[in-house]
Amino acid sequence: MVQVPLIKTDAEFEDLKKRLWTFMKEDIYPNEKTFNHQNHEIGLNGNEWTHSPILIELMTRAKQKGLWNMFLPIDSAEAAGNCADGMSHGLTNRQYAEICEILGTSVPMEFASEATNCTSPDTGNMEVLCRYGSEKQKKEWLVPLLEGKIRSAFAMTEPDVASSDATNIGISITRDTEAGEYIINGRKWWITGSLSLHCKIMILMGKTDPDGPKFAQQSQILVPMDTPGITLMRPMLAFGDDDSPKGHAELLFENVRVPFENALLGEGRGFEISQGRLGPGRIHHCMRLIGQAERSLAAMCSRAEQREGFGKKFVKFDTVLQDIAKIRVEIETCRLLVQQAADQMDKLGNKDGHTRQLLSLMKAHVPITVQNIVDKCIQVFGGMGVSQDTPLFQAFAGARILRIADGPDEVHWRTAARIELARQKASPLKDIGTYPKYGKDLLPFRRSGDPISPATQKKLDAFEALEVGNRSKL
């Protein structure tokens, strides 16, 4: 069983970051091209996708160095009870924001996260099991996930509906009361991780009560990947990449049967679980994106100091200098937003209104900001920036994909705006936004029937008496 040190002091946390930086420099960065090459070969060599050899090697090293399960926050570990004993560092979400940013400097973005068992969708699934799973479900699925022996998937998105609205999820889950089983029929797609043979369990969200209250129609069900009736139809290609051996599958469910006991938290609680999962599982992507931005900026600055055009180094051009400065302030702004959201989660939980607003703002703002940052960095490299000779094209694609993968920008802006309108109703500034236009103490400028003073009338008469050419003499 994996055992990791519990972080209790600031000094221990700083030591953890130091050890992680050493791991990144000695084990992750030097193996990025090997990881990419091996993954690509796995995708080309058939449909039996497994971890690349270099990933297995690095997972072993990470365990040995105590760099494992750093994502699991102290409250989730406590909710998991004995199942998480010795498997969590006990970090807060705010502390993990710093850890995850370091992990996010790898390319691909989740390479280091995979090596340390801090990758999606496993992190979100493990937190769901910690918080909502039964003791039997935790022992059967949470423990091997925490140990890194298996991987998991989260089957939510469907091809025929706007899945960013969780109430739209409509895959059929009917009951066979006599057999004590749910029967699942329908399609899912973009199901991350499900193409890997290491993926043993998925959490599936579907409709158990089509006629029930709007937010109680869906349930989340544990579905083992070897259950009869599941067909992996195809890998979905993101910008032409199959992302093997993790992958994102389109799945067909034909009379897939699982026992009633596989329901998480109970029937009709699927939307509730989804709302609880949105914060912890999805804030991690934004944390990693900041690492991607830092990696891209470092590459841009190095290139600008080396590359020459029109008689001088690029770093001497004012436009390049301005971009460097603007990127720095954009990174710092994103970092502060993410850290504040993480801090609010620690203090108030992710169901608190202000916390939810920060999470929505973060999810909308950070990916597009990082996408624009990487775009500026690519420009300094020229053609090299979109080639295999730099990691920038992967950073750009990753940021763009996350503007959809964790819910489209528009949904997050909408959520943040609706929360803001509700908050403004209690604002002490609500009724002082404008000055009164009229009132007993505010006289109109002039009425059409008001008399004109003799002095002013004299000026008007004098002006009208002048010929046009002489009016400049007034």
Q: Is residue 456 part of a domain?
A: no
Q: Is residue 441 part of a domain?
A: no
The pLDDT confidence band at residue 453, using thresholds 50, 70 and 90, is very high
The pLDDT score that the predictor gives to residue 472 is 55
75 and 124 both lie in a single domain = yes
**Cβ(122)–Cβ(145) under 8 Å?**
yes
Q: Is residue 323 part of a domain?
A: yes
199 and 262 both lie in a single domain = yes
194 and 130 both lie in a single domain = no
Token couple for 39: 């993954």
82 and 96 both lie in a single domain = yes
- Residue 218 is part of which domain span? 155-267
243 and 304 both lie in a single domain = no
83 and 177 both lie in a single domain = no
The pLDDT score that the predictor gives to residue 230 is 98
300 and 380 both lie in a single domain = yes
pLDDT digits (tens, 9 = 90+) for 383-403: 999 999 999 999 999 999 999
Closest CA to 76 of 116, 126, 114: 126
Closest CA to 59 of 68, 72, 46: 68
The pLDDT score that the predictor gives to residue 473 is 54
Q: What is the CATH number of the domain that holds 364?
A: 1.20.140.10
Between CA 141 and CA 139 the distance in angstroms is 6
Domain count, the chain: 3
101 and 244 both lie in a single domain = no
The pLDDT confidence band at residue 474, using thresholds 50, 70 and 90, is low
Q: Is residue 310 part of a domain?
A: yes
Q: What is the CATH number of the domain that holds 182?
A: 2.40.110.10
Inform me whether the pLDDT recorded for 444 exceeds 90: no
Supply the pTM of this predicted model: 0.91
Q: What is the CATH number of the domain that holds 102?
A: 1.10.540.10
137 and 257 both lie in a single domain = no
Q: Is residue 160 part of a domain?
A: yes
Between CA 84 and CA 74 the distance in angstroms is 10
* Chain CA centroid to CA 305, Å: 33
Between CA 88 and CA 7 the distance in angstroms is 9
245 and 295 both lie in a single domain = no
260 and 398 both lie in a single domain = no
Residue that terminates a domain, selected from 211, 243, 267: 267
